[in-house]
Structure 1
Amino acid sequence: MGTSKRLAPYYDMQAQHQAILAAAKRGPLQSLTDRELALREQPLTVYPHALQRRVRAWVRFGPESIRVEAKIVRSTPLAAGIEFRAQAHTFRCWVWGNAVELEDD
């Protein structure tokens, strides 16, 4: 029995959600610290919904790293504030800018 090419993106999304939720059970989502962000010294850009870009980013739940599909909701010159979902859960964290790759539109 073959698989539907039409449903492939849906199955990919489901697999990613399961991987995220499994990683979340192994430890809390880590985010950059206030000291690392240096928001008092660095400019902060907050993107309105229409300007939020789709990205792939490396995040860490406890000791486990996982690459997720996310969107950039804010940034500094060195870091990106991202948001991603897994089923009914929304996760938000700050990651270093070089941990983020823009997705092709």
Structure 2
Amino acid sequence: MQSQARSILEAAKHGPLQSLTDRELDIREQPVTIYPRPASVRAWVRFGPEAVRVEAKVMRSTPLAAGIEFRAGDQTFRCWVWGNAVSLVQQT
């Protein structure tokens, strides 16, 4: 996890965390599911032009997007990403 935190914080130097826009999410027309027990996922996120894959929790979703949360050090990041940028972590 320490290497992930370093990767996230290094990527964050390249720009702000990007998130899908309200227009892309189409929240007024698309249903939103909120998860009381968030699932562990791996997701591609972008800080400015820099992409990094993170271990995250999916907190909510629409049919096409996922609202995720992830941490690096004492910082918590939240953003919306396209659903195909996310894969479930296999529980062992």
Normalized per residue, the structure richer in helix is 1
| Structure 2 unaligned residues grouped into runs of 5+ | none
Number of corresponding residues: 91
| Structure 1 unaligned residues grouped into runs of 5+ | 1-12
2:39 alignment counterpart: 53
2:27 alignment counterpart: 39
State which of 12, 35, 55 in structure 2 corresponds to 1:69: 55
1:83 alignment counterpart: 69
Mapped pair 1:22 → 2:10: yes
TM-score scaled to structure 1, two decimals? 0.86
Normalized per residue, the structure richer in strand is 2
1:10 alignment counterpart: none
**Bigger relative contact order, structure 1 or 2, given CA contacts below 8 A and separation 6+?**
2
TM-score scaled to structure 2, two decimals? 0.98
What letter matches 2:45 in structure 1?
Answer: V
Partner SS, residue 20 of structure 1: helix
Partner SS, residue 53 of structure 1: strand
State the structure with more CA Rg: 1
- Deviating beyond 2 angstroms after TM superposition, the runs of 4 or more aligned structure 1 residues are none
In 2, the alpha carbon distance for the partners of 1:19 and 1:102 equals 20
Q: How large is the Cα RMSD of the aligned pairs?
A: 0.4
- Deviations along 1:73-103, one digit per CA (max 9) or x if unpaired, are 0000000000000000000000000000000
What letter matches 2:77 in structure 1?
Answer: F
1:104 alignment counterpart: 90
